Structure 1
């Protein structure tokens, strides 16, 4: 099991996204025109390809493993604009993906393995390409069977989906997974690559203002400004907020769960009457500041500081 949430990880403020996103409110991005309905008792996963001894697993095989693990992991879509909602944080239950690959004899490229890409295939034919090195570097990559204490919902990949912390979903989070093939990036382009997206896409450091909402009309005086920030695999070290063209002010950070989850933050602002612009930026634990230059989601994730306008009366 995952450890209990640290005290103070969820600030429980009105208008702020809860630390754990309810499964029914979790974003959904995929190409399925209708949600696949898969019989878990008939489901199988095939692992094969370069450097792998073919293996097959049933749902019961995974469910009854002794290495099932529970982890809190934030998942983001590469199409998420700055300040967008295509991100969520959940408590996942699954099987370590690295263990399954090792059982098939897979070695990372750094140790002479002939494959540098995992191609995962869903029941509807979607292909997603993931670096082998990222799955085998010790992070909690998994084949997830559960979400927030329950089996996966059909729209979130039941019976099994893939999840790799630190990578955008389109290169890591195959839903309704039925096959894993070991290959190379030179030999195969997964679905989104010919459509203009990068074949490798680590999640970028980002921050978001949840409250107040853009265009809000506020009473003068104390205003709570709060949101979330994430820097997966590294962790958020600081969040700063700027009002108009004033100085950047440090926000108070909520307690950190893990570096693979987002982190809430809050700042109290003494707001005077008028039109105001609020901006936010984060710094990761390596001291790298979130890029302020604005770029669109394509080809490997949006950049820029989330900025909103409000009116104080």
Structure 2
């Protein structure tokens, strides 16, 4: 019966593809964040311990969401194949399994922070569509040739006649193709939020009342391969918990400031645009960034200083934290003093001269120089609650990460690339260093067991940005290790003690091996 089992398993997988495609298309039309994959993936992200998140980012970087969705798809196809096998042997068991999965995921969707009254519908539709497709395919599942028809030279009674097998595969393939087509249509429909996309394109950023610092001459070194001084928007890293990127219409966006305040404040998009804007250049970094990693970027941001909005609300003297909430339910806890001191902590609407992209938080996000993103850089932000650290916890602090998250002093070697083979002779060692809100005073480089040598530091845009550095090197033939360390403006020397990202950021000296040919 091996041939029939294979067909039954294929039928289960095909039915699942149809169901998922139908569910995702329904979600795109009525509840974009409630597609079956988004619900399951969101639940897995929420349930994942800190080490699992850190491992996923270490393995897959900014492709972590694609990896998660791929894993969900593989697991779903495997379970669906089993459902197909069960349906072929025990009628209605596979159908019931699909319907039960739809009910379960639909119920799970209602527990999401951004759930609506109809969030259950896409997953329920997916389950019942898959169940219906499985019944249709089960009824077309061919039986093996009877024993009496088997000739001595044939493979035997367990064989499925070729015409019957082909007919079933046509039905199964057609079912799968319809499911894939529906999934593709759901992607196009999401791109729909076309109306909101057009609104974003029409946004004209106001001129800043307080322009950002000018880029000083020589701030960008002429060293091939070094990280760009300003990170292009398309290359800026993205780490967040949103499997479906929210598309928020600015016309419906509102910000509420409440909690331990003398008066609540509510702000609309139009009211925000009328406020004096500040432009600043700041380096953002993810707490999951490994030493030498690329989850860090530098951009020019435009927005309203958060301290001015908090001044309207007048926080109580006992408050020490602001809990920010995204439209998708993500929360971050930011020390109140970092939002009210002299740093340019912004409710940002612009990035490198353009409106924020959807992926980076359009229409409004937070940017707080000096803090890792998980405690400060809330995208699609809609709520600021003034509170205390001993009264409220945020998304990642509930999962074991530290509460305050100041960015640690870091430096990275960009040139030469790790593992590259170089020609002997004159070359350059170069990279970047950063500690936003503190600033970098110097970078030192050590080759093998030699002394630390002071690199040339390019002028910094400000203490909130990374700075480029370089050191000339006459490379001798052989294998070498190059390491770097930074010295902050407050005199702190970057530690060589190796620590993982969890719970408050990685430490250690970035060290790379290079081979030099004679």
Asked if Structure 1 and Structure 2 have the same fold, meaning a TM-score greater than 0.5 normalized by the shorter chain, the answer is yes
CA contact (8 A) 1:215 1:311 kept: yes
Tell me if structure 2 keeps the 8 A contact 1:48–1:55: yes
Which residue of 41, 45, 57 corresponds with 2:251?
A: 41
Q: Is the contact between residue 411 and residue 486 of structure 2 (CA under 8 Å) also seen in structure 1?
A: yes
In 2: Cα distance, 1:41 partner to 1:174 partner: 20
Q: From the two aligned structures, give the one with the greater strand fraction.
A: 1
Q: Give matches, 1:84-233, under 5 Å.
A: 84-106=293-315, 113-233=317-437
Query: C-alpha separation between the residues in 1 aligned to 2:319 and 2:223?
Result: 47
Match of 1:244 among 421, 428, 448: 448
What is the SS of the residue equivalent to 1:24?
helix
> 4+ runs of 1 displaced by more than 4 Å?
none
Question: Structure 2 CA distance, aligned partners of 1:73 and 1:231?
Answer: 10
* Residue in structure 2 matched with residue 283 of structure 1 by the alignment: 487
Structure with bigger helix share is 2
Q: In structure 1, how many angstroms separate the alpha carbons of the residues matched to 2:394 and 2:486?
A: 32
Q: Give the TM-score, by structure 1 length.
A: 0.96
For 1:203 and 1:52, the matched residues in 2 are separated by: 31
Deviation (angstroms), 1:104: 1.1
Q: Which residue is 2:270 aligned to?
A: 60
- Structure possessing the higher relative contact order (Cα contacts under 8 Å, 6 or more residues apart): 1
| Alpha-carbon distance between aligned partners in 2 of 1:127 and 1:58, rounded to the nearest angstrom | 20
Q: How many residue pairs end up in the alignment?
A: 307
CA distance in 1, matches of 2:335, 2:359: 25
**Partners in 2 of 1:188 and 1:312 — Cα distance?**
54
Structure 1 position 42, deviation (Å): 1.3
Is 1:2 paired with 2:212?
yes
Unaligned 5+ runs, structure 1: 108-112
1:21-63 CA distances to partner (integer Å, 9 max, x unpaired)? 0011000000001111111121111111112411111112111
Structure 2 SS opposite 1:46 = strand
Larger radius of gyration: 2
Give the secondary-structure state (helix, strand or coil) at the position aligned to 2:359. Answer: helix
SS at match of 2:347: strand
Q: How big is the shift at 1:14?
A: 1.3
The aligned counterpart of 2:163 is none
Residue 80 of structure 1, aligned match among 286, 289, 300: 289
Which structure 2 segments of 5+ residues have no match?
1-210
Shift in CA distance, 80/165, structure 1 to aligned 2, threshold 3 Å: same
* C-alpha distance in 2 between matches for 1:262 and 1:3: 14
Cα pair 1:51 1:114 within 8 Å, conserved: no
Shift of 1:211: 1.1
Aligned to 1:32: 242
> Take 2:222 and 2:237, find their aligned partners in 1: how far apart are those partners?
20
User: SS state of the match for residue 272, structure 2?
Assistant: helix
Q: Give the 3 Å change call, closer, same or farther, for CA 85–58 of structure 1 in structure 2.
A: same
- SS where residue 156 of structure 1 aligns? coil
**In 1, Cα distance between the equivalents of 2:296 and 2:442?**
20
* Kept in 1: contact 2:213–2:281 (CA 8 A): no
1:17 paired with 2:227, answer yes
CA contact (8 A) 1:52 1:182 kept: no
Matched, 1:294 2:504: no
Residue by residue over 1:83-120, the C-alpha shift from the partner in whole angstroms, topping out at 9 and shown as x without a partner, is 0000000000000000000011225xxxxx13211000
